[in-house]
Amino acid sequence: MFTTLRVYQNSLDSSLTNWQAHCDRLNSSLQAFAWPQPDWNRIRKGAQILCESFPVLRIALFPDGREWIIGRNLPQNLAEKQQHGVKCAVAQSEFSRNLPSHKTGNYLSAWLAKASVQTLAAEEGILVDVAGNWLETTTGNLWGWRDGCWWTPPEYVGILPGIMRAQILNWLQTQQIQVREEPWTPQLVTQFEAIAYTNSVVEIIPIHTVEQTSGSLQYNPYHAIFQEIRRLFSMTAGSFCYTLR
């Protein structure tokens, strides 16, 4: 099992890094799988060493109690994607994620889904169930805007309950902004003004086009509502109980 986090201000204690939430997610999976506890102090020490050189860390835990931490850089052209959005394509329903409520090392289905849509010049694949309902992208949670309200697929449909997703939900609730957690049916996805995906590394990336067998869907990647989400990343620690994943 693993978790991937973005370190802000070279600090594990930054509210945006949200170190504790990542550790809590790992611990939750450890308990669910009845795996032994790792040396958490050593994990934090290793993360502190690597975050001096890398903005992104991946912490992997193994069934025998060992841990493995690696550092990496931010994705290429991230700022451009955040500003102008990306193209996605709906993947085949057979590419469902294994144990979707846990972040496990078996990401083969997501990898295959992403590879399968690259022939359409898409940068992300959208995973769907057998009924064609959109679940999540291969690397993040989906968000849509319509009629003055945010929409996101609920956890019970079989998605990873992302840390960023939880933080966004909490912040929107504190701001008394309505969020509807409902399945993204083939009809609903045609009604959004704007959509995006989020994860701990890329923050929020708009989606301007989605290719599917019934034709392309177009969305506004420059919608003003995205600015409401992006401003959270400039908030200081203590402004909110949680900040973005």
Tell how strand 149-152 and strand 179-181 pair up.
parallel
Is 117 within a domain?
Answer: yes
Judgement on whether residues 199 and 128 belong to the same structural domain of the protein: yes
Distance of CA 199 to the CA centre of its chain: 3
Last residue of a domain, one of 72, 97, 125: 72
Judgement on whether residues 61 and 153 belong to the same structural domain of the protein: no
Is 240 within a domain?
Answer: no
Is 105 within a domain?
Answer: yes
Judgement on whether residues 194 and 226 belong to the same structural domain of the protein: yes
Is 243 within a domain?
Answer: no
pLDDT in tens, the chain (245 residues): 999 999 999 999 998 899 999 999 999 999 999 999 999 999 999 999 999 999 999 999 999 999 999 999 999 999 999 999 999 999 999 998 889 999 998 889 999 999 999 989 999 999 999 999 999 999 999 999 999 999 999 999 999 999 999 988 988 888 888 999 999 999 999 999 999 999 999 999 999 999 999 899 999 999 999 988 887 776 643 443 333 33
Judgement on whether residues 104 and 44 belong to the same structural domain of the protein: no
Residue numbers of the domain that contains 106: 78-234
* DSSP string across 164-188: HHHHHHHHHHHTT--EEE--B-TTG
Is 244 within a domain?
Answer: no
Judgement on whether residues 50 and 84 belong to the same structural domain of the protein: no
Q: What is the pTM of this model?
A: 0.92
Is 241 within a domain?
Answer: no
CA–CA dist 3, 30 (Å, integer): 12
